[in-house]
Structure 1
């Protein structure tokens, strides 16, 4: 059923292009933009990084489907979790999506995610130390200025 909807959306976008050539690439981009809120520059960046692969018309316009909108949603979830685009590209095929959550479908990904979480925990600890040092400097500065 999802493939029928995707095919229908692709057909609708192609028909829209054929019937209104003056509309340009926005005819193909608009459905994805409405469904995912991804800015065109973001979608093009995802494409450059190999995360998104829309089909092209003979004129070179991108054809986005519902599957592309879903892929953008998954990419955003993984990026929000602190992963970079290179890592997302590698692990995305191994992620399982139940419509509400993404979960690693390969056992080795759990270890990789735990490693990434530890790296983030270490950064948080370092930032806490930096903040404490800065707070000390601010306090010393305030004490020195009130004592003058």
Structure 2
């Protein structure tokens, strides 16, 4: 299939698919004309890339994680034990950032609560 069909089937823009290729996440075959040719596996691959991006991983990390993903009864898991600690650290970093964002939201809530409904113009 060509890139437009992969875009329709995966729900990902053509621009994003080209970016994924540039980052090494997709490796389509090329026709002599330069057209990219994708197969059924690429639809699943793009869906996995999207899920990992939504989970907060960078494309740089996803390049290393993708080859280690395996389908299990309970869903997709890692087949490479060496990445486990790296993903746990990534998750812990995300949780730390969430904590920081929550503290920021609470500080803003306090400022908003202490402010009159209509702010007064500064002098």
For normalisation by structure 1, the TM-score amounts to 0.73
| Equivalent residue number for residue 37 of structure 1 | 11
CA distance, structure 2, for counterparts of residue 99 and residue 64 of structure 1: 27
What is the 5 A alignment of 1:1-148? 13=1, 28-98=2-72, 101-142=75-116
Secondary structure of 2:33's aligned partner: coil
1:33 positional shift = 2.2
List 4+ stretches of structure 1 deviating above 3 A.
Answer: none
Count of matched residue positions in the alignment of Structure 1 and Structure 2: 119
More helix by share: 1
C-alpha RMSD over aligned residues: 2.1
Residue pair 2:3, 2:37 contacting (<8 A) in 1 also: yes
When Rg is computed on C-alpha atoms for both structures, the one with the higher figure is: 1
Q: CA deviation at 1:131?
A: 0.8
Unaligned segments of structure 2, at least 5 residues: none
Question: Which whole-Å deviations, capped at 9, do the CAs of 1:103-133 have from their partners, x for residues lacking one?
Answer: 1111122211111111111111101111111
- Deviation string 1:77-120 (CA, Å, 9 cap, x unpaired) is 21111101000001111111248722111112221111111111
Consecutive unaligned residues in structure 1, runs of 5 or more = 1-12, 14-27
Q: Distance in 1 between matches of 2:18 and 2:26?
A: 8
